[in-house]
């Protein structure tokens, strides 16, 4: 499988602050990797390095087979940047054909991309007349018009409604199926889980985890047993293996690390129990646990220790 983004032991510093600390990251052709982290975690710095806007202080980073600081390499990237406005005076068609020509493609390549993104009818409109979702579609069209080897999306669905978000994901999914590697940065866990083959959790400039969403969700041993029961809170607390109890009417959520034993005891204590369900702790809890463990002051700042 061809690798379209390969970062090895990348360090970057703003002043005296290490924004990235030995980051390793790989994206293969046809793969979608989500870079997940809070604001200030280092996601945008990594994007800036991958798009040649910054140079790593230490380490090696290659995109589309070369150094992204070289213009010839950047012509194989498609980038939707965070907070990048469109010139108000230009029309949609002009923006997309301009993006094609700037990457060395014929202006005519804009037509199919405009159609793919449902921008055909808006092609004659000025950027100032577009809604936020339409503007984001134009940005995506500009990023796709050169058929990039690597598509980099920096918080691409921020501010989009559900329908626009779905449309955006469908287009990205189609391109990925055609072999484009995709790196998407987001601080939305459900967004990462919806689009990515792998989720890379970054925090304070370090990679805390690099796993498929399912594996990441199953990191925590905690399980939740949900059921309808007539047992009281004190009765539930007495059950073996229970570490937390939430009650909403007769529906209870019991946290446990030994779900099988708990289920046996629960059925013994209340033969009338119903609507039984056992679930993992979930992606969000796993990510929160990872970042909490790595937080400064917990004595586990190095990712190796946190994991």
Partner 1 sequence: MSGMTGVSARNRVLLGAVLRVEIADELRSILREPTALLFSVLMPVGFFALFVSIFGGYDAGAIPAGTRMLATFGTFGVLSVTLMNPGVGVAQDRELGWLRAKRVSAVPVGVTLLAKIAAALPYAVGVLVAMTVTAALTGSLSASPAELLRVLGVLLVGSVPFALFGVAVGFRLRANAAAAVLNAVLMPAAVFSGLWMPLRMLPDFFADVAILLPTHHLARLALAQLDGGQVFGHVAVLLGSTAVAATAAGLSYRYARL
Residues interacting with partner 1, by CB under 8 A?
Answer: 51-53, 71-72, 74-75, 77, 79, 81, 83-90, 94, 97-99, 101-104, 126, 142
The stretches of the chain forming alpha helices (DSSP H) are: 43-50, 71-74, 92-102, 110-116, 132-144, 162-177, 189-195, 213-217, 233-238, 259-269, 283-294, 303-306
Residue with tokens 């796709």: 144
Quote the least distance from Cβ 2 to partner 1, whole Å: 21
Quote the least distance from Cβ 86 to partner 1, whole Å: 8
Give the H or E element holding residue 60. Answer: strand 58-63
**Closer residue to partner 1 in complex, CB, 74/137:** 74
Write the burial class of residue 89 (CB in 10 Å: 0-12 exposed, 13-18 middle, 19+ buried): exposed
**Closer residue to partner 1 in complex, CB, 105/253:** 105
**Closer residue to partner 1 in complex, CB, 135/186:** 135
Dihedral Cα 185, 30, 136, 101, nearest 10 deg:
120
Quote the least distance from Cβ 98 to partner 1, whole Å: 5
For the chain, the helix, strand and coil percentages under 3-state DSSP, each to the nearest 5:
35, 30, 35
Quote the least distance from Cβ 38 to partner 1, whole Å: 22
Query: Could you tell me the strand order of the sheet in which 223-228 lies?
Result: 242-248, 251-256, 223-228, 274-280
**Closer residue to partner 1 in complex, CB, 101/293:** 101
Give the single-character DSSP code of 42. Answer: S
**Closer residue to partner 1 in complex, CB, 155/222:** 155
Quote the least distance from Cβ 89 to partner 1, whole Å: 4
């Amino acid at each position: 499988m061809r690798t379209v983004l390969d970062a090895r032991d990348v360090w970057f510093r703003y002043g005296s602050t290490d924004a990235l600390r030995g980051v390793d990251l790989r994206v293969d052709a046809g793969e979608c990797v989500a870079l997940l982290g809070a604001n200030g975690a280092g996601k945008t710095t990594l994007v800036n390095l991958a798009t040649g806007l910054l140079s790593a202080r230490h380490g090696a980073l290659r995109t589309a087979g070369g150094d992204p600081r070289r213009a010839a390499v950047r012509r194989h990237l498609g980038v939707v940047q965070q907070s990048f406005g469109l010139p108000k005076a230009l029309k949609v068609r002009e923006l997309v054909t301009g993006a094609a020509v700037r990457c060395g493609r014929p202006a005519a390549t804009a037509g199919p991309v405009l159609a793919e993104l449902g921008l055909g009818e808006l092609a004659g409109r000025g950027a100032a007349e577009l809604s936020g979702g339409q503007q984001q579609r134009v940005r995506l069209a500009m990023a796709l018009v050169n058929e990039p080897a690597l598509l980099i999306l920096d918080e691409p669905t921020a501010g989009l409604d559900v329908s626009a978000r779905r449309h955006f994901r469908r287009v990205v999914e189609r391109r990925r199926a055609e072999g484009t590697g995709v790196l998407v940065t987001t601080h939305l866990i459900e967004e990462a889980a919806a689009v990515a083959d792998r989720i890379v959790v970054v925090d304070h400039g370090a990679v805390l985890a690099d796993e498929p969403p399912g594996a990441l969700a199953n990191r925590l041993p905690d399980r939740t047993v949900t059921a309808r029961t007539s047992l009281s809170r004190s009765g539930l607390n007495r059950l073996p293996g229970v570490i937390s109890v939430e009650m909403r009417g007769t529906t209870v959520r019991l946290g446990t690390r030994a779900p099988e034993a708990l289920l046996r005891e629960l059925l013994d204590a209340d033969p009338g129990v119903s609507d039984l369900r056992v679930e993992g702790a979930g992606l969000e809890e796993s990510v929160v646990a990872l970042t909490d463990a790595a937080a400064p002051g917990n004595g586990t700042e190095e990712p190796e220790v946190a994991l």
